[in-house]
Amino acid sequence: MTITHIDIYRFSIPMEPFTIATGTMNHAQNTFIRVHTDAGFYGVGECSAFPMIVGETQDTCLVIAKDFAKLWKGKDALNIPERLQQLHDAVAGNGTIKSAFDMALYDIAAKNAGLPLYKFLGGEKREVETDITIGIGRPEVMAEKAIFFKKSGATILKVKLGKNAVEDVERIKQIREAVGDEIKIRIDANQGWSFGDAVFALQTLVKYNIEFCEQPMRTWYDDKLPELMKLSPVKIMADESVYNHHDARKQIESGSCHYVNIKMAKAGGIYEAKQIHDLAAVNGIPCMMGGMLESRIALSSKLHFVYSSPNIKFYDMDTCMLGHLVDPCVGGATYDGYFLNIADTPGIGADADDKFLEKCEKFVI
């Protein structure tokens, strides 16, 4: 099956400001593509650039997407490993935009097989309940947000920390007092703490029944994680410390994490995410499905991946619930409260709304 041309869109989604330890976003810097084939159908791909984390911006994604599209014209869409290796040979890193191209290939392959993507990947549906994220703010404001989410049916809160360890303890104290003991609380420092701050925070926060802590320190302190693992009564999840399965191997073999957060924008898509998942599974390290600020298009591909990945035990799949002011997706994954589901249509089962695309900058290669 030959790739004939590729449509590339600047897929900006307005949203309420969202703050983490490394910065604030007021719109989702996304890129959307359609990879057309001579079979008469196309595959869709979406990625969400989070420059403070991955170093890619929407503009860099658009520039590199044009280069990638030129490489793929006239090539076989069904040879996924070969197509992805082309991208790796051309440009190192840049997993965010690579994930959109990866997603489009899997959409094409599953559509060609006449199967929903999760069945194409050998999976089956199961119950998936996402957490809901509280961005960094004043402790009392975060506590009010926690109460709101609890009243809306949330049973798992993910709380962003990492600005100031002492204030972070106060944030969690007020949230736990506000929501009670039944609701789960997991925290994400987004690399915001020093080693000393991490030890202090985690040893202090344990009394508030914390499920785990994501990425307490900058990745350049990865060598200190084994020591932190010994000192922390709270379990540690690697996020920015694991982009690919080589990173996962190093984290696991050095005793640096209890869990791993898989994100398509870091890994470069489903192909590499599966390698991370399988390596972690063999070593008894449960994984979480995470994300950046994707719409329900990329969310749908992640849900299919979850269904086919039994070692994913935690679900941080609230990205398009985090203040997106527009839903640019047709079809795709749906929320029933905080539970996700998707129809059994071929491929990913999601696409962009053509009316939304009319307002987007477009490139055809």
Q: What are phi and psi of 56, to 5 degrees?
A: -105, 145
Q: Which of 46, 56, 222, 239 does the annotation list as catalytic?
A: 239
The per-residue pLDDT for range 152-204, each reduced to its tens digit, is 999 999 999 998 999 999 999 999 999 999 999 999 999 999 999 999 999 99
| Residue of 7, 102, 214, 351 marked active site | 214
- Please choose, from the candidates 269, 352, 330, 268, the residue with its C-alpha nearest in 3D space to the C-alpha of residue 305: 269
| The predicted structure's pLDDT at residue 26 | 76
Q: What percent of the chain has pLDDT over 90?
A: 93
Give yes or no: 207 in active site.
no
188 is catalytic: yes
214 as an active site residue: the answer is yes
Give me the pLDDT at residue 19, please: 65
One of 98, 119, 150, 160 is an active-site residue; which one? 160
Catalytic residue among 145, 158, 163, 263: 263
> Can you list the pairs that 142-145 forms with residues at least 24 positions away whose Cβ atoms lie under 8 Å?
142/171, 142/174, 142/175, 143/174, 143/175, 143/177, 143/178, 144/178
Look up 239 and say whether it is catalytic: yes
| 163 a catalytic residue | no
* Six token digits for residue 363: 């490139």
User: What pLDDT does 78 receive?
Assistant: 98
Q: Which pair of tokens denotes residue 34?
A: 């359609």
Kindly name the residue from 7, 46, 168, 188 that is annotated as catalytic.
Answer: 188
Angle 33-345-71 from CA coordinates, rounded to 5°? 25
Can you say whether the dihedral through the CA atoms of 179, 180, 186, 190 is positive or negative?
positive
Give yes or no for a contact between 48 and 265, defined as CB atoms under 8 angstroms apart: yes
pLDDT for position 259: 98
Hey, what are 177's tokens?
């007092």
Q: Residue written as tokens 């070593």?
A: 283
- Parts of the chain with a pLDDT under 70: 18-23, 25
**pLDDT tens by residue, 55-102:** 999 999 999 999 999 999 999 999 999 999 999 999 999 999 999 999
